[in-house]
Structures are given as C-alpha cells and as structure tokens.
Amino acid sequence: QVQLVQSGAEVKKPGASVKVSCKASGYTFTGYYLHWVRQAPGQGLEWMGWINPNNGATNYAQQFQGRVTMTRDTSISTAYMELSGLRSDDTAVYYCARESNGGFHFWGQGTLVTVSS
C-alpha cells in the first residue's frame, strides 16, 4: 500500500533552516509528483510547491521563492523540503502529498516545525 512517512518534529531558532523528509513506499517513486503543503496553527492549508521525482523539476509557490528548496533521492525513494530563513510564522505542520488522477490522494503524517527563540 502507498505510504508517505515523514521525519520527526523539529524546533528551530529564527533565521535557521529546516529540512523535512518524506519517504515513499508501495509505489514507483518516480511516477508521481510530490507536493508540500503546510498548515499553521488555526489556519488553513497552504500549498508550497511540487517536485517531479523523475527528473527533479520543481515549482514553488511565489511566497516561498528564494527560501524553499525541494529535492529528492531516488535511490531511497525520499523527497526533501528545506525552508531557510525561518520566522515565527513558519511554525506549522508540514505535509508531503502525492498527486495522482486529480487531487492529492495520499499524504504523509505531517511534521511539526516550531520556530522559537
């Protein structure tokens, strides 16, 4: 069965960077785009960008341009999302999600990133 397993919670200081991983299993990793979506406390869902695991192509939401980098390692079927220049308003749960046949059918369990001095 399809599974996306994310790395554990992180606590970071303002200005630092965080790198969240998303390990895929149960399907061909290079066959589907992976998206990153976040939800800040009390807020809605915010799309951050996608990566094509087949060729590493990426597309980032404008508000994260210059701060986010999405990469992948096909040898271990894992995608990564790195966010730099962290601010307190980056405190959120970050999700990876697999796109297929309309919508995001599979999601990781989420990774809480807390930014606090």
Assess 109 for contact with other proteins (CB under 8 A): yes
Smallest distance from other proteins to CB 95, Å: 6
Near other proteins by CB under 8 A, which window of 10-18, 72-80, 84-92, 98-106?
Answer: 98-106
Beta bridge partner(s), residue 75: none
State the amino acid at position 43 in one-letter form.
Q
C-alpha neighbours within 13 Å on the C-beta side of residue 33 = 15
Question: Which of 20, 24, 37, 86 touches other proteins (CB under 8 A)?
Answer: 37
Assess 38 for contact with other proteins (CB under 8 A): no
CA distance 86 to 11: 11
Considering the complex, state which of residue 30 and residue 59 has its C-beta at the smaller distance from other proteins: 59
The β-bridge relationship of strands 104-107 and 111-115 is unpaired
**Which two structure tokens, joined as six digits, stand for 77?**
């079927």
- Residues in contact with other proteins by the rule CB under 8 A: 35, 37, 39, 44-47, 59, 61-62, 95, 97, 99, 101-105, 107-110
